[in-house]
Structure 1
Amino acid sequence: MALMRAIGLMSGTSMDGIDLAEVTTDGDGTVERGQSFAVPYEAAFRRRLEAALDTAGSIEARSDRPGDLAELEREITIRHADAVEAFLKASGIPREEVGVVGFHGQTVLHRPRLGLTVQLGCGQLLADRLGIPVVYDMRANDMAQGGQGAPLVPAYHRALASSLTGAHAAARPVAFVNIGGISNISYVGGDGTLIAFDCGPGNTLIDQWVSRHAGIPYDSGGAIASEGRVLHGLAMRYLGLPFFTAKERMSLDRNDFVLPEDGAAGLEDGARTLAFVTAAAIAHAQQHLPEKPKLWVLCGGGRLNQAIVADLNVATRHTGAVVLAEEVGLNGDSMEAEAWGWLAVRSLKGLPLTYPGTTGVAEPVTGGVLRTPRTEEGGPAGEA
């Protein structure tokens, strides 16, 4: 297959900003990872996104945009366009060499039991402003075919697993763990078996906890948690929830877990306990795998929380090694953005994005919606 240069865009459940990454790929086993970039959201805009989660709770159809969600969707799209422009300028990537942009948008509602997922972001507006084709809305077809619409990155993780070199090249099974707002795992077996599912809360509870009690967006490096102790009673209230005791794995929404009530813990103990819950939820995922991983590759912002990593090392000490993505030559910050560029190319070629072992769909299915820049006949560029 011919190679295509793509830019992937990701704004995840942590709602901390836009990650951008360049990949050159055939949408299959050939992946040449390029430059990456990040544009953080300011605190006021993050608060608007968080408020949008409440507004989105009334959505009954994917096209619904109650309240100010339509206005917010346009702003999110323009911010992504501006981020791409900044990336092109900083990286020196010629616009005409970019074949496609993979656009995730901002998830504000994900209800797999209802077959409903909503990502704010207008693919046509983005294509018009950039003058580059855009593939977006990559979860919808999976859900229309009976899948949960998440996670979508595992197929990319499998492609990366085949590129590992050195001491870790032959380590199988390997588990890629993305610790974003929600944690998810991608299991790649020695025979290429691919299994993936959400593990539980990643950073979302920790971020909300320190924001409420310390007025800061996240616990940098786990510094606050390092001053606390694990409150096992509180931890068990989370780990005893039906999500963890059920045999069926369900994809999660940021709002599926609620903060401890005020007074349940002090700042440091709360941060430490919630970090423990994140690590315990990841380790618990082994119960749903055919074999215990010999290698755990951590990516996403949570890999930098030393309390989470330390607890996961303890929980998996009898099975496999825990390493950060950078230790195996990968980029733990840009991996999801890379995946969205890779998935966009894969979508253009009609290749599967999801599988029975990743989203529960009956058979492998492709997905995504292509939008090309409009000519003057199609409408003036920049309209939503």
Structure 2
Amino acid sequence: MMRTAIGLMSGTSLDGIDVALLRTDGEAVVERGPSMGRPYDAAFRRRLQGALETAKAIGERMERPGDLADIERELTLRHGEAVRAFLTENSLKPADIDVVGFHGQTVLHRPNVGLTVQLGDGALLARETGIDVVYDMRANDMVHGGQGAPLIPAYHAALAAGLAETAGKPVVFVNIGGISNLTFIGSEIVAFDSGPGNTLIDQWVEAHAGIPYDQGGMIASEGRVDRGLAERYLGHAFFTDPVRRSLDRNDFRPPEGAAATLEDGARTLAHVTAAAILRSARHLPERPALYVVCGGGRLNRAIMGDLAALAGEEGARVVTAEAVGLDGDSMEAEAWAYLAVRSLRALPLTFPGTTGVTAPVSGGLLARAASGD
């Protein structure tokens, strides 16, 4: 049965809300629809950055110390506004949509203790939009021994099945968001976080230039790679540990202020992002022939240049999602729409090869629009 779903994604880069429409059966049939981005204003981004610090005090998943409850409400209301704007822009009504897949904002992720916290009130969003909402999709995976991330591989597999470029060849989908992650689709499906994505670069340029990110890699293009600084990151035990694990934004921290110039720091961290992907790819079952890159990092030419060069040394090609007819900005939001439909059908969201869960498991909580709970 086909369903029409809206996916909502607010990632670790804290830059805004991505909205995407999908018609799908939650399995092999995927019809991609329109999408849009709705950026956060600077003041709200600062509140979210503060929430990351406040959340460190959380010991139980439903705790909301400090002002986290207020931030959660505002975040949810902003998602509601985004859905209404999207419907208006595309001449749609709430009745046209079967379900909303709501990721929320991850403020704490500690898989080693089975704790993940995404701010977002699904019941409130259902009341605000008049549409059923599936949310909190990571927690059940962790209950069953998984890392709670990444969740997008099920959608990557559905996309790969429709790509002529990947026929019979192992392919890796690379999402470069705040944290980067890989999905390998070949003899089996394997997925894991690969290392820092844009988060270190964003924090570096915000601290040193007062801007939220290095647009297009312009700052990095003026710098050079500090090999010593790069190896401090790339020598991290995460890259050699045979046990793959998901990452929290705080697992890798930006360099100290005097470690490099603005330009050299941005260039070095761009190199770290690219090299981390290839180092983590050593844990895949076989070498991929193709890397398909999505997420904001694909727009940073320093990251993409290094990634193409490093992959080329191993005989692989690197392309953007757009080069194979996909949308690198909306893919994660599309995935949350797809996962919401799978959740409604009680289909697995995660698998032993993706999160380390003991067996394929579904997940997500359903908030009905009619009752709001």
Task: Provide TM-score, normalisation by structure 1.
Answer: 0.96
In the alignment, the residues of structure 1 paired with residue 3 and residue 119 of structure 2 have an alpha-carbon distance, to the nearest angstrom, of 26
Contact 2:293 2:318 in 1 (8 A): yes
In the alignment, the residues of structure 2 paired with residue 374 and residue 85 of structure 1 have an alpha-carbon distance, to the nearest angstrom, of 17
Q: Match for 2:37: what amino acid? A: A
In structure 2, what is the equivalent of residue 378 of structure 1? Answer: none
Q: Render the CA deviation track for 1:148-198: whole Å, top value 9, x for unaligned.
A: 000000110000001113xx1425100000000000000000x4x100000
In the alignment, the residues of structure 1 paired with residue 34 and residue 90 of structure 2 have an alpha-carbon distance, to the nearest angstrom, of 7
In the alignment, the residues of structure 2 paired with residue 32 and residue 139 of structure 1 have an alpha-carbon distance, to the nearest angstrom, of 24
In structure 2, what is the equivalent of residue 183 of structure 1? Answer: 180
In structure 2, what is the equivalent of residue 68 of structure 1? Answer: 67
In the alignment, the residues of structure 1 paired with residue 143 and residue 80 of structure 2 have an alpha-carbon distance, to the nearest angstrom, of 28
Q: Match for 2:44: what amino acid? A: F
Q: Which segment drifts farther, 313-322 or 199-208?
A: 313-322
Instruction: Quote the sequence identity (%).
Output: 65
Question: How many angstroms does 1:129 deviate by?
Answer: 1.0
Q: Render the CA deviation track for 1:93-147: whole Å, top value 9, x for unaligned.
A: 2321100000000000000001000000000000011111000000000000010
Tell me if 1:218 matches 2:217.
Answer: no
Tell me if 1:203 matches 2:202.
Answer: no
In the alignment, the residues of structure 2 paired with residue 67 and residue 240 of structure 1 have an alpha-carbon distance, to the nearest angstrom, of 36
Question: How many angstroms does 1:319 deviate by?
Answer: 2.2
Tell me if 1:18 matches 2:17.
Answer: yes
Question: How many angstroms does 1:365 deviate by?
Answer: 0.2
Q: Match for 2:169: what amino acid? A: R
**Aligned pairs (5 A) from 1:116-127:** 116-127=115-126
Tell me if 1:365 matches 2:364.
Answer: no
Q: Match for 1:340: what amino acid? A: W
Q: Which segment drifts farther, 240-249 or 83-92?
A: 240-249
In the alignment, the residues of structure 2 paired with residue 25 and residue 129 of structure 1 have an alpha-carbon distance, to the nearest angstrom, of 24
Contact 1:174 1:295 in 2 (8 A): yes
**Aligned pairs (5 A) from 1:39-188:** 39-165=38-164, 168-170=165-167, 172-188=169-185
In the alignment, the residues of structure 1 paired with residue 294 and residue 260 of structure 2 have an alpha-carbon distance, to the nearest angstrom, of 28
In the alignment, the residues of structure 1 paired with residue 279 and residue 154 of structure 2 have an alpha-carbon distance, to the nearest angstrom, of 22
Q: Of 283, 298, 311, which residue of structure 2 is paired with 1:316? A: 311
4+ residue runs of structure 1 moved beyond 6 angstroms?
A: none
Q: Of 226, 232, 236, which residue of structure 1 is paired with 2:227? A: 232
In the alignment, the residues of structure 2 paired with residue 330 and residue 171 of structure 1 have an alpha-carbon distance, to the nearest angstrom, of 19
**Aligned pairs (5 A) from 1:185-334:** 185-189=182-186, 191=187, 193-317=188-312, 318-334=314-330
Q: Match for 2:157: what amino acid? A: R
In the alignment, the residues of structure 2 paired with residue 45 and residue 70 of structure 1 have an alpha-carbon distance, to the nearest angstrom, of 14
3-state SS of the aligned residue for 1:263? helix
In structure 2, stretches of 5+ residues that fail to align are none
Contact 2:175 2:295 in 1 (8 A): yes
3-state SS of the aligned residue for 1:288? coil
Question: How many angstroms does 1:244 deviate by?
Answer: 1.5
Question: How many angstroms does 1:302 deviate by?
Answer: 0.2
In the alignment, the residues of structure 1 paired with residue 18 and residue 228 of structure 2 have an alpha-carbon distance, to the nearest angstrom, of 37
Q: Match for 2:295: what amino acid? A: G
Q: Match for 2:182: what amino acid? A: I
Contact 2:192 2:354 in 1 (8 A): yes
What is the RMSD of the two structures over their aligned residues, measured on CA atoms? 1.0
Q: Match for 2:283: what amino acid? A: H
Q: Match for 2:289: what amino acid? A: K
Question: How many angstroms does 1:261 deviate by?
Answer: 0.6
In structure 1, stretches of 5+ residues that fail to align are 376-380
3-state SS of the aligned residue for 2:101? strand
In the alignment, the residues of structure 2 paired with residue 60 and residue 331 of structure 1 have an alpha-carbon distance, to the nearest angstrom, of 37
3-state SS of the aligned residue for 1:251? coil
In the alignment, the residues of structure 2 paired with residue 44 and residue 172 of structure 1 have an alpha-carbon distance, to the nearest angstrom, of 46
Q: Match for 1:170: what amino acid? A: A
In the alignment, the residues of structure 1 paired with residue 151 and residue 239 of structure 2 have an alpha-carbon distance, to the nearest angstrom, of 21
Tell me if 1:346 matches 2:342.
Answer: yes
Contact 1:179 1:301 in 2 (8 A): yes
Question: How many angstroms does 1:18 deviate by?
Answer: 0.1
In the alignment, the residues of structure 2 paired with residue 94 and residue 49 of structure 1 have an alpha-carbon distance, to the nearest angstrom, of 30
Q: Match for 2:180: what amino acid? A: S
In the alignment, the residues of structure 1 paired with residue 201 and residue 16 of structure 2 have an alpha-carbon distance, to the nearest angstrom, of 17
3-state SS of the aligned residue for 2:20? strand
Question: How many angstroms does 1:374 deviate by?
Answer: 3.7
Contact 2:194 2:281 in 1 (8 A): no
In the alignment, the residues of structure 2 paired with residue 173 and residue 314 of structure 1 have an alpha-carbon distance, to the nearest angstrom, of 19
In the alignment, the residues of structure 2 paired with residue 303 and residue 246 of structure 1 have an alpha-carbon distance, to the nearest angstrom, of 26
